[in-house]
Amino acid sequence: MVNAAAARRGAATAALAGLALLAGCGHDEPVAAAGRPLPELLCPDGPPAALRGAPVVVILLDALNPSFLTCYGGRADLTPHIDGLAAEGVRFTQAIAPAAYTISSIASLLTGVGVGAHHTWTWKPEGNHLPADLPTLAERFAAAGYATAAIVHSPNGSTAFGFDRGFQHFVDLWKVKRPYPRAEDCWPALDELLAARDERPLFLWLHILEPHEPYHPPDPWRGRLDPGYTGTFTGDPVQLWSIRNREVVPDARDLAHLRAEYEETIAYADHAVGGIRERLERAGLWDRAIVVLVSDHGEGFLEHQGLDHAGMGHGSTVYDEMIRVPLIVKLPRGAATAGAVQAQLVASLDLLPALAELVGAAPAGAARAPGRAAVATHSESHEVHRLLATWSLRDARWKYVDTPGHPPELYDLAADPGEQHDLAAEQPGLVESMRRRLAELAGADLALGATTGAEGPAPPADSPELQEQLRALGYVR
Ligand SMILES: [Zn+2]
């Protein structure tokens, strides 16, 4: 009898393996040199003693394109709380996600492995549950004596897909808030958690939905940034689906309005971050803790219409607006890195292993993630929902895009950060070397994935509560 989970994995793995088979041929062009590992970027002189056993709080805001944050060059005065965190921490300007959509990126963030290694590629019925024998970083923190807790607003980051493994306390807020949890809804759950905590150091994972669509924050955030707009476009999931399917075409003014609604949602998420900070300060944790702001992927607004690629929202392309994420890491008070800006390329999936190392939670002999010369990213396709449809490889300067059925694309991010001028035809040697490098990285992930053979249960795709939430968030039409 064919095991259903194995069949699901087999189909997706075959697509990835096709990419890996491309390794080992073609010209050799120099690839970018590897940068320093993430722990060294955070603590260049090695972790100080005060970091050992420090509380760790990770705040993940879903679908946050960093270029909209004030501290990353976005609208003035939009995100005072996140900007305040950046002033106390290290702000990474080139942090790249492993996937352009939630479930696969979260699986990588929580395990520290690439997309090919964890089998958790889609919330759809052909998808999979996190393999039971793939270690999670929450398990690592728990084994080191941490109290591990999560408050999760998104079904795609939840128990539904096995992401609670290693967390002693896991609040699936999406199951109790209709139509979906608001950013502020984490506050009571956080109050409860902090009141009940014991002497153990805390590892806390907060996955908040905003600014994920719909771009409809509560009052007074909603409608304040573009009150003069008289058009019909609004950031609700039904209309965003119509844009993705090209049933309606927003003009430049409409897109400016959609961006303003997205910014309003970001401002509301920033307000929630302020409330989280207040609570951590009241509990005496803020100054002692490592506090991180990160996202699972970015968000696009049809930046690549002219290149015949859709790109509204996320998950459909691997251009930077969908794969570059904010990453801000505040170390305990007194760290020499406060206010630093770090421009080296980093992979967001290296975050939790790096933090585990810095606080002394890595097991003896654990391999450290190397510095990254390049980061591979996967995207699904909103048009045909193919598994493993598109991949990119991004180094500090170049972006290579591999889409089945399309010619390869190559962009010089230094000269063309908007990725509007495809140079693949002019740089065939570089295209070939980046394709080989991508195939090597994908092959390494596949090899690791082949060792995690446990057949986790299929996700509950037919659960009415999951379907309701997925519809509210624009995943299901
Ligand atoms: Zn997401």
Q: Which residues contact 410 (CB under 8 A, 6 or more apart)?
A: 398, 399, 400, 401, 422, 423, 424, 427, 430, 431, 434
Q: How much is the pLDDT for 454?
A: 54
Specify which residues 303 forms β-bridges with: none
Distance of CA 426 from the midpoint of ligand 1 (Å): 35
pLDDT band of residue 27 (cuts 50, 70, 90) is: very low
Q: Are strands 409-412 and 398-402 parallel, antiparallel or unpaired?
A: antiparallel
pLDDT of residue 215: 97
Residues 78, 310, 96: CA angle, nearest 5 degrees = 55
| Phi, psi angles (nearest 5°) of residue 440 | -65, -45
pTM (2 d.p.): 0.92
For residue 101, the CA-to-ligand 1 centroid distance in Å is: 5
Query: Would you list the domain boundaries of the chain?
Result: 29-472
Residue 162 pLDDT > 60, yes or no? yes
pLDDT computed for residue 200 by the predictor: 97
Identify whether 214 is preceded by a cis peptide bond (ω within 30 of 0).
Answer: yes
Instruction: State how far the Cα of 100 lies from the Cα of 122, in Å rounded to an integer.
Output: 12
Helix (H, G, I), strand (E, B) or coil at 156: helix
Residue type, 9: R
Stretch 374-388: mean pLDDT: 65
| 280: enclosing H helix or E strand | helix 252-282
Residues 103 and 379 sit within 8 Å (Cβ to Cβ): no
Q: Quick one: pLDDT at residue 177?
A: 87
For 362, residues 6+ apart whose C-beta sits below 8 A from its C-beta are 140, 144, 353, 356, 368
Tokens of 416: 């063309």
Lowest-pLDDT choice from 28-37, 42-51, 66-75: 28-37
Torsion sign across C-alpha atoms 356, 358, 363, 365:
positive
When pLDDT is cut at 50, 70 and 90, the band that residue 23 belongs to is very low
Q: How far is CA 6 from CA 114, 131, 444, 455, 458, in A?
A: 19, 11, 20, 7, 10
Q: What is the pLDDT of residues 192-225, one digit of tens each?
A: 999 999 999 999 999 999 999 999 999 999 999 9
**Spatial separation of the C-alpha atoms in residues 1 and 23, rounded to whole Å:** 33
Helices 428-449 and 4-20 meet at what angle, rounded to 10?
A: 150
Q: By three-state DSSP, how is residue 201 classified?
A: coil
Alpha helices (H) along 185-251? 186-195, 237-244
pLDDT tens digits along 119-133: 787 766 656 788 888
* pLDDT for the residue numbered 338: 85
Question: Average pLDDT, stretch 152-171?
Answer: 94
CA of 372 from ligand 1 middle (Å) equals 23
Residue 33, token pair as written in the block: 């040199």
Q: What CATH number is given for 29-472 in this structure?
A: 3.40.720.10
CA of 81 to the centre of ligand 1 (A): 21
CA of residue 63 to ligand 1 center, whole Å: 5
Q: Of the candidates 451, 374, 446, which has an alpha carbon nearest to the alpha carbon of residue 114? A: 446
Residues 402/100, Cβ–Cβ less than 8 Å: no
Joined together, the tokens standing for residue 368 give 């450290």
DSSP code, position 392: E
What three-state secondary structure class fits 341? strand
Distance 296 CA to ligand 1 centre (A): 5
Contact 399, 411 (CB under 8 A): yes
The CB-side HSE value for 325 (13 A sphere, CA atoms) comes to 35
Give the β-pairing of 202-208 and 147-152. parallel
Label residue 64 left, alpha or beta by phi (over 0 means left) and psi (-120 to 50 means alpha): beta
The Å distance, Cα 423 to ligand 1 centre, comes to 30
Residue with tokens 């908040």: 208
Query: Are the beta carbons of 180 and 174 closer than 8 angstroms?
Result: yes
Q: How far is the CA of 181 from the centre of ligand 1 (A)?
A: 14
**What is the biggest distance separating any 2 CA atoms in the chain, rounded to whole angstroms?**
62
Q: Which residue has the tokens 């722990």?
A: 39
Ligand 1 centroid, distance to 185 Cα (angstroms): 18
Kindly give the distance from the C-alpha atom of residue 282 to the centroid of ligand 1, in angstroms, as a whole number: 30
Q: pLDDT tens digits for 87-107?
A: 999 999 999 999 999 999 999
Instruction: Report how far ligand 1's centroid is from the alpha carbon of 340 (Å).
Output: 27
Q: What φ, ψ does residue 403 adopt, rounded to 5°? A: -115, 120
CA distance 245 to 239: 10
Going from the Cα of 376 to the center of ligand 1, the distance in angstroms, rounded, reads 18
Ligand 1 centroid to Cα of residue 218, in Å, is 20
Eight-class DSSP state of 373: S
pLDDT of residue 152: 97
**Cβ neighbours for 470, distance < 8 A, ≥ 6 positions apart:** 123, 155, 476
The answer to whether the beta carbons of residues 286 and 280 sit under 8 Å apart is yes
What spacing in Å lies between the alpha carbon of 378 and ligand 1's midpoint?
A: 13
Asked if pLDDT for residue 389 goes beyond 90, the answer is no
Alpha-helix runs per DSSP H in 112-185 = 115-118, 137-143
Residues 337, 466: Cα–Cα separation, whole Å = 42
Give the whole-angstrom CA distance, residue 42 versus residue 350: 12
Q: What is the pLDDT at residue 118?
A: 87
Predicted confidence at residue 452, as pLDDT, reads 75
